[in-house]
Amino acid sequence: MRIRKDIPTPAGDRLGGVCPVLVAHGTRNPRGVAVIAEITERIAAMVGPTRTAFVDVLGPTPSEVLGGLDRPAVLVPAFLASGYHVRQDIPNHVRRSGVGDAIVTRALGPDPRIAAVLRRRLIESGWRPGDAVVLAAAGSSDDSACAQVYLAARQLEGLIGGHIEVGFLATAAPTVADAVAAARTSGCRVVIAAYLLAPGLFHERLHTVGADLVTEPLGADPAIVELIVTRMRAAVSPYRTDAVLLR
């Protein structure tokens, strides 16, 4: 795949010489697949043709995408914390592809821009100040990834006030159900802030744990798209500090 030359990029934008690749988890939910496609389209509108890869459920895999490229790639993990897929799975795919140079950026979260989108999703769901809030994340066996979710909760607290419980849907503890139960002791309505990028099985499960309201996922919000593009541009900067070059 060759980068189109008719898409303008800012002067000095080094993304013109690489192939951007958004790497998502993958889902069988058609809405989730559509959200990832929309995010990719919006990225492409800003930086030129962008490929999508999936580490599970769907294809193509990162190694399959990389094998078909004719220039270095910048891979952005579409994950909200740096768990197994970010730290091991994606780099392993890069190595298996046999490509010369590839850059893997850090995960999307935690980030103040994500916290701002979470706040908007809360407001859209009907949340009111004074409601108890649970930040619900996928979960990870990686302690540092779980710690990043707690940091995301603290960032959201800074925007809406009050204490936010944290719950995980898989692997880690406490579970979202336990976090909802803890929040319920406040006597207030309980609202789940879905710390998820796109609809899928995990988001569906959030509607079964006893909360009064559940937000929509982050989705193809302009702030999320801009964050991804920022990750890409930082990765190709000569002053790069948040990406890993794999050879």
Residue type, 34: A
Q: pLDDT-based confidence at 44, cuts 50/70/90?
A: very high
pLDDT at 13: 61
Of residues 14 and 101, which shows the higher confidence score?
Answer: 101
- Residue-level pLDDT at 61: 95
On the question of pLDDT at 8 being above 60, the answer is no
For residues 135-153, give the mean pLDDT: 95
23-37, 80-94, 112-126, 137-151: least confidently modelled range: 80-94
Long-range contacts of 236-241 (CB under 8 A, 24+ apart): 236/14, 236/15, 236/17, 236/18, 236/74, 236/103, 237/14, 240/103
Burial grade of 154 (CB within 10 A; 0-12, 13-18, 19 or more)? middle
* 12 confidence band (pLDDT: 50, 70, 90): very low
CA 30 to chain CA mean position, Å = 18
Mean pLDDT of 160-180: 96
Domains, the chain, ordered by start: 19-107+222-236 (3.40.50.1400), 112-214 (3.40.50.1400)
- Are the beta carbons of 155 and 186 closer than 8 angstroms? no
